[in-house]
A and B are shown apart, each in its own frame.
Chain A
């Protein structure tokens, strides 16, 4: 049974940093690319970033490019999202999702950006 468990969300001031984690189990983590997708309160889904199965390549949405970094540790079956220079518009529920085509999702972790 695939499980994806996000953590690391919280309240941060504008300009601050936060690191999200996504612990994976129930599948061979190192075989799959992984995504971060976010959802602002009451809004739709926005793709944030993707990392290839081996971490060799990463891709970002325009709204986070240069501020966020996606990475992974295949020895720990964990996906990360380092978020710097946070803005109020980054406030959202952040989901990790498995495989290029988002076949499984976690329950999300909430990031609140507020002074």
Chain B
């Protein structure tokens, strides 16, 4: 399954919203009815951190300005109001058609 993210780079203004798209080459609805689509954040110089699991569930400690949505093959990560600590690269990943797990190419969020 190929995961395609857009845009590649996302210049943002602090306090403004941001949106990242992730598309899969095949439906991510698994046979159990769940959709195993995840979002990870990688801040500069840090390890990846999971933000969202199964499309829309925020991990513990993740601010509620982050939200995930979508279904089938089209998914979106939204940041309602970008803060300075949100700068980094964001990856989507599918786990519905595994192995292998596959990641999107990443979207770099930077200050405009």
Contacts and interface: CB of A to CB of B under 8 A. Distances in A.
Interface of A: 35, 37, 44-47, 50, 59-62, 95, 100-108
Contacts, number: 54
Given A44-B106, A46-B103, A105 B95 contact: no
A101 B100 contact: no
Most chain B CB inside 10 Å of its own CB: which residue of A95, A102, A104, A107: A102
B49 interface: yes
B66 interface: no
B95 A100 contact: yes
Instruction: Report the interface size class on chain B.
Output: 20 to 34
B47 interface: yes
Interface of B: 36, 38, 40, 47-50, 53, 59, 89, 91, 93, 95, 98-106
Contacts of B102: 47
Contact of B36 (A46, A50, A101): A101
A2 B98 CA distance: 25
A61 B102 CA distance: 10
A105 B50 CA distance: 9
B47 A44 contact: no
A96 B98 CA distance: 18
Contact of A103 (B47, B50, B104): B50
A6 B68 CA distance: 30
Contacts of B40: 45, 102
Given A102-B40, A106-B47, 8 more contacts: A44-B104, A44-B105, A45-B40, A45-B103, A59-B98, A60-B99, A95-B48, A100-B95
